[in-house]
Structure 1
Amino acid sequence: MTIMRPTTDTVVLGIDPGGRSTGLCLIIGRDVVEHQVVVNAAEKMLPIELTYVHEVLGAMATMVERTALVVDVTIAVEDVVRPSWHMKGRAAADPSALLATAQILGACVAFDPTMRTVLVRPRGNGSRALGEYPTALVSAAERRKDGWRTRIGTGQLRHARSAYDVALAGQEAIHA
């Protein structure tokens, strides 16, 4: 269990919503307090399984409950943008992933209407070199590879790294 102390730093819960996996990362300043990746166990993304939606909201509730008694928490959620349906002259993309992501996004935004919530535009969140992230967000397997600090991670923790970047962008947005 995370024990929170009063702080003047901004506390942000960053969320990278997804149809297959959703990353969550709670930060104070630039420090990771807690992170989690919730995985959708369903074979298909649509229709979205309510179990998955509830697991994401439950993870949010757990992280917020551990901190909200001591400090205010801001929720920062990566937004979705209009896709380019045709790629290099090929047929239209399957919208299932976008629709499932939008459903998770909506659930996260509606989580608690009394909390400050910030939408963060997608901009390569989670795609920096592994060495630029706190070590809590880089797995032991990723660290075992030669030159890991300059690699871009592809493991499940990439969703938590994306949520970390979303949380940082959320801090910037509320201090702008």
Structure 2
Amino acid sequence: MRVLGIDPGAKVTGVCVIDGREVVASVDVATAHDLFPAHRGYIQEVVNQAYRLLDSLQVQTVAVEAITRPSWHMKGRAAADPTALLATAEVLGGVLGFAWPVPIVQVQPGKNGSQPFGTYPPSLITPAERRAPGWQLKTAGKGKLCHQRSAYDVARAGLRLRAEMVHV
């Protein structure tokens, strides 16, 4: 089953289409506009890019990473700035509000894009990330393809959720 994973972000959104564990296509959609409010053109481009991939690659399910209620205080320090969370919520709302022609599932956040490099397909690891000895065991995180890796994990989780829904 082909699944389109979306990792909504305030400045960059990752989109990845998988078939099993194989990456069929992946792309980042970025905005050069202010963080908040999220620029309408950015939200539209996220949905447009995702729909183009869905339509051209015969995707059967869309999976999008949800957001969780933030903890506004961190270890006694001042309240966190909610700007990025609000902008991400706007992108998420645009994705959820679109009339997708296939089922859509929400994937809970939690280490999406932060697995060991060796668990990701080669197309989601840059040559620079492969240079360090033992790179396969190092945890992915920041980097050029971090949003696409997160979208890959979201798609994989969406594949599992969709399978559970079908078998219930």
TM-score for both structures, normalised by structure 2: 0.92
Q: 2:148 matched to which residue of 1? A: 160
The CA deviation at 1:128 is 0.5
**SS in structure 1 opposite 2:88?**
helix
Q: 2:161 matched to which residue of 1? A: 173
The CA deviation at 1:28 is 0.7
1: CA distance between counterparts of 2:122 and 2:105? 26
1: CA distance between counterparts of 2:69 and 2:134? 35
Deviations 1:28-60 (A, max 9, x none): 111110001112212x21121122112211211
The CA deviation at 1:147 is 2.4
Amino acid in the other structure paired with 1:155: G
Q: 2:62 matched to which residue of 1? A: 75
The CA deviation at 1:148 is 1.6
**SS in structure 2 opposite 1:45?**
coil
2: CA distance between counterparts of 1:97 and 1:84? 14
Q: 1:117 matched to which residue of 2? A: 104
Count of residue pairs the alignment pairs up: 163
Q: 2:125 matched to which residue of 1? A: 138
Amino acid in the other structure paired with 2:25: E
Percent identity between matched residues is 47
Amino acid in the other structure paired with 1:118: V
1:1-176 matches, cutoff 5 A: 10-42=1-33, 44-68=34-58, 72-153=59-140, 154-176=142-164
2: CA distance between counterparts of 1:37 and 1:137? 12
2: CA distance between counterparts of 1:82 and 1:175? 27
1: CA distance between counterparts of 2:159 and 2:78? 39
TM-score for both structures, normalised by structure 1: 0.88
Amino acid in the other structure paired with 2:19: I
Give the conservation status (yes or no) of the 8 Å contact 1:37–1:156: no
Structure 2 portions without partners, runs of 5+? none
The CA deviation at 1:113 is 4.2
2: CA distance between counterparts of 1:61 and 1:103? 18
Give the conservation status (yes or no) of the 8 Å contact 1:67–1:73: no
Deviations 1:127-153 (A, max 9, x none): 001111000111122112332212223
The CA deviation at 1:174 is 1.1
Amino acid in the other structure paired with 2:37: P
Amino acid in the other structure paired with 2:9: G
